[in-house]
Amino acid sequence: MTKLLLSVHVIAAILAVGPIAVAASLFPRFARESPTGVAAFLHRTCRTYTVVGVAVPVFGVATGASLGVLGDAWLLVSILLTAVAAGLLALAILPAQRRVLDGAADAAKRLAMATGVFNLLWAVVVVLMIVRPGSTTGA
């Protein structure tokens, strides 16, 4: 069962977080060029995959429980960083994208920075998931 949970967790991360990272990163550029066309599509992509992305922490926690590592520092830090990234997406990135689409061009610079931080947080989470500090598996 652990292997199934881990597989679903990793697949959900790739298929949900990946498109958000790409669409959010491309949004500022296309918002300047085509605020109603491609940028609107990228915003919808971010919103849609945000809902799908809820599966990532759900299956991650289930996998951690199955492995008995929910109290390990690397996992707790990963959960915290995931929560920060989710909050950044829901409270800063998506609303800023909406504001840009509604004509507030001044939000684009901060939006690009927030998106960069979002992507950096996910990169750190991926490294923590692979390296797992303190792991005895030799990974």
The residue ranges of every structural domain in the chain are 2-131
Spatial separation of the C-alpha atoms in residues 63 and 126, rounded to whole Å: 15
In this prediction, residue 79 carries a pLDDT of 94
**Per-residue pLDDT for 139 more than 60?**
no
Provide the token pair at 41.
């599509």
When pLDDT is averaged across residues 53-70 and rounded to a whole number, the result is 92
**Per-residue pLDDT for 116 more than 80?**
yes
State the pLDDT confidence band at 16, using cuts at 50, 70 and 90: very high
Alpha carbon of 111 to those of 21, 63, 81, 117, 118: distances in Å? Answer: 13, 33, 19, 10, 10
In this prediction, residue 133 carries a pLDDT of 74
Whether 52 contacts 15, CB under 8 Å: yes
Spatial separation of the C-alpha atoms in residues 92 and 11, rounded to whole Å: 26
For the segment 28-40, what is each residue's pLDDT rounded down to a tens digit?
Answer: 888 887 667 899 9
**Per-residue pLDDT for 21 more than 90?**
yes
In this prediction, residue 104 carries a pLDDT of 78
User: What does pLDDT average to over the chain?
Assistant: 90
